[in-house]
Amino acid sequence: MKKTVLTLVAAVGLMLASCDTESSYHTMGIVYPTQSSVVYADQQVDSIKFYVTDDFRLTPLTSWLSVPDTLREMKVQNVYRVVYELTFPVLFEANTSGDIRHGQLSITSTGADKWDQTATANYTQVPWHNITCPAPAFSYSDRLITGAKFEVTDSATQVTDTLRFTAYDSWTLSNGEFAHPDKSSGTAGKQEVVLAIDENVATTERETSIALESCGVKTPITIKQTGAKL
């Protein structure tokens, strides 16, 4: 989680106006996210980073996205028209919808001389966890990602495999028919779990599924195993 930061932007000549108290210089803009920030199903916090010279207000435009009440509106005492850069946390509810969803956070800044400006930060929340191994296989529609599945194929005689993921809260991992994780639960953070794989003595391919669960969201991981060679 990024801490709230209040720093002076030292871009002289670009973003710093004259020290004249009569100056009518105003500016505001979003530094992050510049397009849309992608957050995961169990992720609870990201951020918004912006620069401003005047009073501002943050307004969530989506029900599952919020900012702390104490940070929603601030007065900026800034007679010298310097530019401040701020980073605030943006909070999320877990995505249990099963669908990719899009949220927005509006920032409005107002000042003297009837100056006001509004910009919007965009966030995309996916309905799966941050699993890196196996890598996600994405599905697309009109060049947009519509889903992801996680699948690995092992040989009939392979005895171990590895899962890697980042959890943003406490998590559990179910047991598979022939794939058995060495850890079934844990706390937030980067994780590496070793799977013990039973040998496949049949000549036919088989598969099983284990589920990663965190914050009420379940992401299935499919393990396929080739058949034994005659």
Same domain, 109 and 18: yes
Which domain, by its residues, includes 61?
5-125
Instruction: Residue 79: give its domain's CATH number.
Output: 2.60.40.10
Q: What are phi and psi of 183, to 5 degrees?
A: -135, 135
Within a domain: residue 116? yes
Q: In tens digits, what is the pLDDT along the chain, a chain of 230 residues? A: 433 333 333 332 333 333 344 457 899 999 999 999 999 999 999 999 999 999 999 999 999 999 999 999 999 887 777 899 999 999 999 999 999 999 999 999 998 888 999 999 999 999 999 999 999 999 999 999 999 999 999 999 999 999 999 999 999 999 999 999 999 999 999 999 999 999 999 999 999 999 999 999 999 999 999 999 98
Provide DSSP, 48-101. Answer: EEEEESSEEEEEE-STTEE--GGGSEE----TT---EEEEEEEEE----SSS-E
230 lies in a domain?
A: no
The two tokens of residue 19 are 């020290």
Look at residue 114 and tell me if it is in a domain. yes
Whether residue 77 is found in the same domain as residue 16:
yes
- Kindly compute the dihedral angle of the four CA atoms of residues 64, 65, 71, 74, in this order, to the nearest 10 degrees: -110
- Model pTM above 0.75: yes
d(CA 197, CA 57): 54
How many Cβ atoms sit within 10 Å of the Cβ of residue 155?
Answer: 14
| CA-atom Rg of the chain in angstroms | 24
At residue 68, the pLDDT reads 96
Contact 21, 77 (CB under 8 A): no
Domains contained in the chain, number: 2
Same structural domain for residues 120 and 9? yes
Nearest to 16 by CA among 53, 54, 59: 53
Per-residue confidence (pLDDT) for residue 78, from 0 to 100: 75
Answer whether 83's CB lies under 8 Å from 15's CB.
yes
136 and 116 co-located in one domain: no
State residue 23's pLDDT score. Answer: 56
Tell me how far apart the alpha carbons of residues 86 and 65 are, in angstroms, rounded to a whole number.
Answer: 19
Residue 223 is encoded by which pair of tokens? 């393990």
Assigned domain for 215 exists = yes
User: Which of 67, 93, 125 represents a domain boundary (last residue)?
Assistant: 125
CB burial of residue 81 (10 Å; 0-12, 13-18, 19+): buried
